[in-house]
Amino acid sequence: MMSNDHILNPETMPQSPEKATLEGKNKFLGLWFFLGGETVLFASLFGTYLSLKNSTAGGPTSEELFGLELVFIMTIMLLTSSLTSVYAMYHMKNNDFKKMQLWLGITGLLGIGFLAMEIYEFAHYITEYGFTFRSSAFGSAFYTLVGFHGGHVTFGILWLITLMIRNAKRGLNLYNAPKFNTFSLYWHFIDVVWVFVFTVVYLMGKVG
Amino acid sequence: MKGWMGKLRALFLLGLVALILSGCGRENLTALVPKGYGSESSMKLIILTTVIMSAVFVIVMIVYVIVLLRFRKKKGQENFIPKQVEGHKGLEAVWTIIPIILVIIMAVPTTLISFDLAKTNDQKDSINIDITGNQYWWHFDYKGEEIQTSQDLYIPVGKKVYLNMLSSDVTHSFWVPSISGKMDVNPDNTNTMYIQAYEEGVYWGKCAELCGPSHSLMDFKVIVVSEEEYEQWIADMKSVDPKAKPENSVAQEGQELFEANNCMACHAIGSSPIATGPNLTDFGNRTKLAGYVEPTKENLVEWIVNPEKIKPGNLMTGKYPAVNKEEAEKIAEYLLQLKPSEIGPESAGK
Amino acid sequence: MSIAATQKQGFGAVIWDYLTTVDHKKIAHLYTFGGGFFFILGGIEALIIRIQLIKPENDFVSAGFYNEVITMHGTTMIFLAAMPLLLGLMNAAVPLQIGARDVAFPFLNSLGFWLFMFGGILLNCSWFLGGAPDAGWTSYAPLSTTSPGHGVDFYVMGLQIAGAGTLIGGINFLVTIINMRAPGMTYMRMPLFTWATFVTSILILFAFPALTIGLFLLMFDRMFDSAFFDVTLGGNTIIWQHLFWIFGHPEVYILILPVFGLFSDIFSTFSKKRLFGYTAMVFATMLIAFLGFMVWAHHMFTVGLGPVANTIFSIATMAIAVPTGIKIFNWLATMWGGSITINSAMLWSLGFIPSFTVGGMTGVMVATVAADYQYHDTYFVIAHFHYVIVGGTVFGIFAGFHYWWPKMFGRILNETMGKIAFWTFFIGFHLTFFIQHFLGLMGMPRRYWVFLEDQNLDLGNFISTIGAFFMAIGVIVFFINAIYSQVKGEKAPADPWDGRTLEWSIPSPPPYYNFKQLPLTRGLDPLWVEKTEGNGKMTPAEPLGEIHMPNNSFIPFVMSLGLFIAGFGFIYQTDNNAWFIALFGGMAIALGAMIVRSVKDDLGYHISKEELEREADE
């Protein structure tokens, strides 16, 4: 039986280790398709939110609730984390495992920071305004849309942590390179979704 | 081969025979014999599309039969290899372009008719009736007349009547096949449609959107009467004295029981826009009980004593203290004599 | 697992093998068994409906139970029978048709199946736990949000889990078809069934997430008191209808496009001609799929969207008739001038043409908006979509099984029984549904527990019920045939139909690695090309070498089981907080299985060249 040595301990790392094997190519393409499906998922949520955002049932409106300062910082954090994950992938292609791990770590920390602020934001709405998931259709739609995004961030962070710990000692090879790459793609997607959340929910909620 | 076609033909014949036997359905229920503006408009499109589509079907079947007759594997030619044809641009263009033309032919009248049926330009000058769909009965509120009734909808023949529909619970759908196509009765927003009946008569109406166990029993009637009769009916309904004592002494006892048993908590006699149960002002004139049962005294007693048996899942069950049969008979006596108007189902089409 | 595992095994070993398999051919078997089981269940539900409606004001079943039966009939047939059976056929044929050794993600393939199976079981558990869902397969809010008991909760969780499985299956086929085609198998040389699978997978990918969200909203409303569909708190019930049909209409094409593909293969094979207008067929498939996303609101003509929206959706829907018509005529032209063999597979396909054409006709009729005010929610619509789904999808599934049974199970289905099954089913089908067009127009709305006396609906309903029993007999004969053929059936040769595509170039059933050497495709209908050039078999595209194979895994089963348990937790936590244990426990199992999967390297194994050579000698 032939071993899988050439995948786990390649003699030379190719230019794009994430796409050097058929499995890698499949993962790459599969994730793109998955993100296509996710787009419809979020589009449905945005549609629901847009049709319910004025259904406040006498509760607080988006103009009363939202403040842009915190959300703006959150946006900057998440966008920066997208950039740091690009750095990580850059180092992966140069086969520099340590630097890749470092930048991934920073990505993860930014993600955690984002999440912490989101939790603070939710808690603030609930305690200060009594604005909950159950108070109106607007409340349900808001927490569901933003919460779905937050859930995706949480999943991404768990994914990243698992990847980093698992591969901390074994370095980069043709088997795990596609995994890092798919994570990075997923992370970009979440950031793009956030840009829409920021625009549609917060900016339009404050202005229009 | 013979068997194939034979069976197919037999099948079509059987279908045809069945159709002839049952005719076009029950008069004043079937959509196939339109008696109103909406159903007539729909019928035009039904006929147009049926004709075009049947022609397409016939063409497909002709080609199909020829293929089956001519191109089956023949004895002695088992190894015959047919010519491998890639396609034929001309032919393919033909069966692309012709369907496009057919679609255009159908699209134009479809657009015109659907816009026509959605017109509301003369709504203000027409009769307006607010309809509320409930599990499992219909509430009718004659706008500006202070008349509420349920189950039997009186309208004048030939006049446009605007219906503004809203549901108090789940989604229903208002359908009187002979007079008009259906419109959903949503809890979210008021839907408006107009109906216009050509002939006097009692027309059967149905709920067409699944609304719970008794969905299939949520029948109602549209009673189309002459214009004079309609005016008379409105006048009679307006002048009802809800407190009027019945002449019959049993009915009087029934009236007392009706009040004692908390029936008034939901049911109103006379105008009451806020009552949550069916309005009973003209109960004695109803075509049916509970929407579908013959309005006899025995049935009414049963309905009062054990509503669940007649209409599973109805909201009356358990809303009042248990009534025994004797009491129910007295209440029935009272309710059945509530006939504020001479104009009833019999008046239609006289 | 090595080659030794393919030798005679004990019963337990076979079960274990199926529980852990990642082989697309075995997963095809699993989908067939699972889908077949639910098909019988849905059929029994159909018979209950028809018995209840055999005469006016019948009381065979109660009103509440009737609503449960109609809901489960629709849900089961669509999600748990038709789709899995199609996925079974896709799994059986597509990798072979493109010359691949497996799908792109064998592990996910298995996960997709187990999610479907556990979702289906969860949904059907409701029968024994206080009542099935009763708000119709469309589950319109607020009927579904206010429905008492846990029935609708089972609907939500069952479909959510099964739906995730389908989505995974869709992504898997997309990547498989793009990345795993054998040398020379260009896109425009792919068999139509593969094309149809590809396009269907795109539909699954973009349609199912809308259902996912719809189900989440319904779940939040029912289980966590949110207010999406609660009008008093500003909710809007029409949102559910939109989300459901944005998924629901493409779903119709998810059911029909694969069978369009397999009929194309069958007509071409048994007419001994290449498919007429191949390119047009491919683009018609894509066009149908594209339009399929633009027409969802034709299910909502009576909702009150206004004449502008109504006519736009109406005309867009009519436009679908054009590509569908192209297909019908191309099939006829394929047979024209051919040498047609009529066996069971072909009978089902020939039966499909008139049946489906009727369904297409009435499809255009119901698309006509102002006429639909009469058709909508009546038996006319019931007749229409059964003509499409039974006359199209179910006929296609039967045709597909007759056609690929030899490849899947190594036996040929009995022809006599095949013909009996076809004729009883075909006659029964038209008896049942043709008359329903008229019942609808005569004033019979759908989902009616009873129809009243004195409405001239008695005879039509009676005929319809008789027809349903004929259909049942046809199905029973088919199942007997399937079992009989497995025991006594004729052993299938590699190429029993004088086939044209790659799956017929390898033994029946194929070895677990499919192709010893990947074949070189030199044109459309690659095997036929070789046959006409006198080779009779495929030219290898590679020298004999090691084959990389994925390892079996029990993780998909465990992961699905975890979600199954969590599903119960979600459903019952509204009654008692103790059920949160099941909720979090189940989630922990699923997440744990996921982590095990990511942490444990699974690189598969290799079959050595020597082993392959030894196999060839045996």
CATH code, domain carrying C72: 1.20.210.10
Q: How far is CA C493 from CA A98, A119, C466, C490, C497, in A?
A: 57, 64, 40, 9, 9
B18 is a domain residue: no
| Residue tagged 């390119």 (tokens) | C279
Extract the tokens encoding C491: 């052993």
- Same domain as B164, residue B113: no
Are the C-beta atoms of C491 and C410 separated by less than 8 Å?
A: yes
Are the C-beta atoms of B179 and B35 separated by less than 8 Å?
A: yes
B7 is a domain residue: no
* Among the partner residues C220, C242, C598, nearest to A144 by beta-carbon distance: C220
Selected residues 200-219 of chain C with any CB under 8 Å from a CB in chain A? 205-210, 212-214, 216-217
- Same domain as B220, residue B133: yes
Q: Which of C554, C533, C531, C425 is nearest to C479 (CA)?
A: C425
For A14-23, A107-116, A147-156, A183-192, which range has the lowest pLDDT when averaged over its residues?
Answer: A14-23
Task: Determine, for residues C178 and A139 on separate chains, whether the beta-carbon distance falls below 8 Å.
Answer: no
pLDDT, one tens digit per residue, over C111-145 is 999 999 999 999 999 999 999 999 999 999 999 99
Which residue range forms the structural domain that includes residue C328?
3-553+602-617
- B19 has a pLDDT exceeding 80: no
Which residue range forms the structural domain that includes residue B299?
249-347
| Averaged confidence pLDDT in chain C | 94
Q: How far is CA B316 from CA B296, B322, C285, C550, in A?
A: 19, 12, 53, 63
Q: What pLDDT does residue B20 have? A: 58
Task: Determine, for residues C209 and A44 on separate chains, whether the beta-carbon distance falls below 8 Å.
Answer: yes
Q: What pLDDT does residue C614 have? A: 83
C83 is a domain residue: yes
Task: Determine, for residues C304 and B73 on separate chains, whether the beta-carbon distance falls below 8 Å.
Answer: no
- A1 has a pLDDT exceeding 60: no
Residue B89 near chain C (CB below 8 Å): no
pLDDT (mean) for C492-500? 94
C186 is a domain residue: yes
Rounded to whole angstroms, how far apart are CA atoms B28 and B203?
Answer: 5
Residue C473 near chain B (CB below 8 Å): no
Distance to chain A for C164, nearest Cα, Å: 11
Q: Which of C76, C246, C225, B280 is nearest to A137 (CA)?
A: C225
Residue C237 near chain A (CB below 8 Å): no
- A2 has a pLDDT exceeding 50: no
- Same domain as B226, residue B151: yes
- Same domain as B234, residue B132: yes
Q: What pLDDT does residue B350 have? A: 64
- Same domain as B132, residue B169: yes
Using pLDDT thresholds of 50, 70 and 90, give the confidence band for residue A8.
confident
B219 is a domain residue: yes
Q: What pLDDT does residue C5 have? A: 45
Residue B98 vs residue C4, higher pLDDT: B98
Residue C333 near chain B (CB below 8 Å): yes
Using pLDDT thresholds of 50, 70 and 90, give the confidence band for residue B4.
low
Distance to chain C for B313, nearest Cα, Å: 8
Task: Determine, for residues A140 and C172 on separate chains, whether the beta-carbon distance falls below 8 Å.
Answer: no
B28 is a domain residue: no
pLDDT (mean) for B216-240? 95
C446 is a domain residue: yes
Task: Determine, for residues A175 and C603 on separate chains, whether the beta-carbon distance falls below 8 Å.
Answer: yes
- A14 has a pLDDT exceeding 90: no
Using pLDDT thresholds of 50, 70 and 90, give the confidence band for residue B80.
confident
Rounded to whole angstroms, how far apart are CA atoms B163 and C275?
Answer: 55
Q: Which domain CATH number covers B142?
A: 2.60.40.420
**How many CA within 13 A on the CB side of residue B302?**
13
B238, B262, B290 - which closes a domain = B238
- Closest residue, chain B, to C365 (C-alpha): B49
Selected residues 545-584 of chain C with any CB under 8 Å from a CB in chain A? 546
Extract the tokens encoding B32: 């196939």
Phi first, then psi: give them for residue B289, nearest 5 degrees. Answer: -100, 145
Q: ipTM of this model?
A: 0.94
Task: Determine, for residues C365 and B50 on separate chains, whether the beta-carbon distance falls below 8 Å.
Answer: yes
Element counts in chain C: helices (H) and strands (E): 22, 4
Using pLDDT thresholds of 50, 70 and 90, give the confidence band for residue C3.
very low
Selected residues 294-323 of chain B with any CB under 8 Å from a CB in chain C? 312-313
Selected residues 109-128 of chain B with any CB under 8 Å from a CB in chain C? 110-111, 113-115, 117-118
Residue B83 near chain C (CB below 8 Å): yes
- Residue type at B294 in one-letter notation: E
Are the C-beta atoms of A5 and C609 separated by less than 8 Å?
A: no
Q: Model-level pTM?
A: 0.94
Selected residues 102-131 of chain C with any CB under 8 Å from a CB in chain B? none
* Among the partner residues C278, C310, C335, nearest to B67 by beta-carbon distance: C335
pLDDT (mean) for C610-617? 78
B6 is a domain residue: no
B194, B213, B238 - which closes a domain = B238
- B1 has a pLDDT exceeding 60: no
B340 is a domain residue: yes
Q: What pLDDT does residue B289 have? A: 93
| Residue tagged 């909702």 (tokens) | C303
DSSP state of C150: S
Contacts of A25 in chain C (CB under 8 A): 179
Rounded to whole angstroms, how far apart are CA atoms C479 and C424?
Answer: 14
Task: Establish whether chain A is in contact with chain C, requiring a minimum of 3 CB pairs below 8 angstroms.
Answer: yes
Task: Establish whether chain A is in contact with chain B, requiring a minimum of 3 CB pairs below 8 angstroms.
Answer: no
Contacts of A1 in chain C (CB under 8 A): 605-606, 608
- Same domain as B261, residue B218: no
pLDDT, one tens digit per residue, over B105-163 is 999 999 999 999 999 999 999 999 999 999 999 999 998 889 999 999 999 999 999 99
- Angle (deg, nearest 10), helices B249-260 and B325-336: 110
Q: What pLDDT does residue B274 have? A: 85
The percentage of chain B sitting over the pLDDT mark of 90, rounded to a whole number, equals 77
Using pLDDT thresholds of 50, 70 and 90, give the confidence band for residue C4.
very low
- C296 has a pLDDT exceeding 70: yes
Residue C483 near chain B (CB below 8 Å): no
Domain count of the fold of chain C: 1
Interface test with A, best of C204, C217, C233 (most A CBs within 10 A): C233
Selected residues 91-150 of chain C with any CB under 8 Å from a CB in chain A? 104-105
pLDDT (mean) for B243-247? 87
Query: Is residue B47 packed enough to be buried (19+ CB in 10 Å), middle (13-18) or exposed (0-12)?
Result: exposed
pLDDT, one tens digit per residue, over B107-119 is 999 999 999 999 9
Rounded to whole angstroms, how far apart are CA atoms C229 and C243?
Answer: 12
Q: What pLDDT does residue C189 have? A: 96
Q: What pLDDT does residue B6 have? A: 61
Distance to chain C for A137, nearest Cα, Å: 5
- Same domain as B254, residue B218: no
B270 is a domain residue: yes
Q: What pLDDT does residue B112 have? A: 96
Domain count of the fold of chain B: 3
Residue B237 near chain C (CB below 8 Å): no
C331 is a domain residue: yes
Q: How far is CA B64 from CA B5, B267, C334, C496, in A?
A: 11, 63, 11, 26
Interface test with C, best of B95, B167, B185 (most C CBs within 10 A): B95
DSSP state of B24: T
- A72 has a pLDDT exceeding 80: yes
Contacts of B183 in chain C (CB under 8 A): 302, 304, 373
Residue B39 near chain C (CB below 8 Å): yes
C267 is a domain residue: yes
Are the C-beta atoms of C164 and C115 separated by less than 8 Å?
A: yes
- Closest residue, chain B, to C449 (C-alpha): B216
Selected residues 348-387 of chain C with any CB under 8 Å from a CB in chain B? 350, 353-354, 357-358, 361-362, 364-365, 368-374, 376-378
Dihedral over Cα of C158, C159, C160, C163: its sign: positive
* Among the partner residues C167, C172, C546, nearest to A2 by beta-carbon distance: C546
3-state secondary structure of B76: coil
- Same domain as B182, residue B100: no
Rounded to whole angstroms, how far apart are CA atoms C6 and C133?
Answer: 43
Task: Determine, for residues C373 and B180 on separate chains, whether the beta-carbon distance falls below 8 Å.
Answer: yes
Q: What pLDDT does residue C2 have? A: 40
Task: Determine, for residues C339 and B68 on separate chains, whether the beta-carbon distance falls below 8 Å.
Answer: no
3-state secondary structure of A17: helix
Q: What pLDDT does residue A169 have? A: 87
User: Which domains, ranges and CATH numbers included, belong to chain A?
Assistant: 19-52+65-207 (1.20.120.80)
- B323 has a pLDDT exceeding 50: yes
Interface test with A, best of C175, C201, C594 (most A CBs within 10 A): C175
Rounded to whole angstroms, how far apart are CA atoms C327 and C284?
Answer: 7
- Same domain as B93, residue B172: no
C50 is a domain residue: yes
B162 is a domain residue: yes
For B179-183, B270-274, C314-318, which range has the lowest pLDDT when averaged over its residues?
Answer: B270-274
Contacts of B41 in chain C (CB under 8 A): 370
Query: Residue C172's Cα: distance from chain center in Å?
Result: 15
- Closest residue, chain C, to B183 (C-alpha): C302
List all chains that touch chain C, counting a touch as 3 or more CB pairs closer than 8 Å: A, B
- Same domain as B149, residue B229: yes
Q: What share of chain C is helix, strand, coil (3-state, %, to 5)?
A: 70, 0, 25
Rounded to whole angstroms, how far apart are CA atoms B37 and C427?
Answer: 38
Rounded to whole angstroms, how far apart are CA atoms B102 and B342?
Answer: 53
- Same domain as B233, residue B141: yes
